[in-house]
Amino acid sequence: MSKIDARLPRELTHRVSVGGVKVGGGAPVSVQSMCTTDTADPTATLAQIRELADAGCEIIRVAIPGAAALDGFREICAASPLPVVADIHFDHTLAIEACRRGAAALRVNPGNIGSWDKVDAVIDEAGAAGIPIRIGVNAGSLDPAFAEREDLTFVEKLVGSATSFVAHFRDRGFDDMVLSAKAHGVPTTVEVNRALSRELPEVPLHIGVTEAGTARQGTVKNAAAVGALLMEGIGDTIRLSLTADPVEEVNVAWDLLSAVGLRQLRPELVSCPTCGRCQWDLMGVASEVERRLSGVRSPITVAVMGCVVNGPGEARGADIGLAGGRGKAVLFASGEKIRTVDEADAVDELFAEIERRFS
């Protein structure tokens, strides 16, 4: 009788190292972002990388749009607290030079490099440097053998192109690949990554909805698509692109990893929607608690609930929390009451208890 492999898709992928960060092979799903600074300005770029590292970013990508961006690249790689991925389109010589100047990985779209000879030169240089390559595929960088075929859907073109690129890299003796096939929409993103996971189960996947939009819309799209895939065990590293400060991307990525139960970096806030039983300013309290939790590093769950009748019970899974009443609040932990406090002191009392128990 054949044995069923119960491992998740992300446990079956080949593990690569991006600097010190492992991607694939069941490694924790890593959080990436991309600098918005000019890479030719190492001071500004390093300042943003440090800010992103503080927020929990684990891999950072910088754009190399031309030779000028390479000038500061060596300094950025040498001083960065995070592994730096060089993002290169069109010009393979930039990719080769980025390998020589300390890139921890490359991101290239073979479909826009121009010829296989040029792609091979990049593959060989990355191989010599011992760094992985993220192969990107999107509507603008399909394999020409698939791009014009009218019998294929867009998803089939993406998957066909990705499969053909991976085969080429393997034929060249290069296995340290991460694959990303990007689309704007939620259904397409889910469909294409499911197909890639099925067709190329050993290749780690970098997932995210590309050009997802501003903070609100982009968060919803990424949560829907990336959340669904992560829950299916698909996806080895994530970048949730938002038209916003990249720190927000990292915050949203961690909130998503926490929400799907994969990784928790910071406290998670649980709060009820309120109803007619609520007798205190829950929205104000929740905002204040959220603000003050940004300074807490323990991965605890904190609840703020609208009433003492149902609050502690509804938030039984929380490590600690407050349930408000008329002028008073109940401080509780794991569903059990600790003590009653005055409403005016409730948030201070909560944080004093968090400090006592979890720091």
Binding interface with ligand SF4 (CB under 6 A): 272-275, 277-278, 305-307, 310-311, 314
- Complex with ligand SF4: residue 102 or 311, whichever CB lies closer: 311
User: Which residue, 264 or 310, has its beta carbon nearer to ligand SF4?
Assistant: 310
Residue closer to ligand SF4 by CB (options 145, 283) is 283
> Looking at beta carbons only, is 106 or 286 nearer to ligand SF4?
286
**Nearest approach, Cβ of 181 to ligand SF4 (angstroms)?**
41
CB of 94 to ligand SF4, least distance (A): 55
Q: Which is nearer to ligand SF4, 52 or 302 (CB)?
A: 302
Q: Which residue is nearest to ligand SF4 (CB)?
A: 306
CB of 313 to ligand SF4, least distance (A): 9
Least distance from ligand SF4 to the Cβ atom of residue 275, Å: 3
Shortest Å distance, C-beta 340 to ligand SF4? 16
Q: What Rg, from alpha-carbon coordinates, does the chain have?
A: 23
State how far the Cα of 247 lies from the Cα of 91, in Å rounded to an integer: 29
Output the smallest distance, CB 224 to ligand SF4, in A.
Answer: 25
Closest approach, Cβ 267 to ligand SF4, in A, equals: 19
Nearer Cβ to ligand SF4 (59/272): 272
- Residue closer to ligand SF4, measured from CB, 305 or 346: 305
Q: Which of 58, 11, 69 is nearest to 34 (CA)?
A: 58
Whose Cβ is closer to ligand SF4: residue 261's or residue 273's? 273
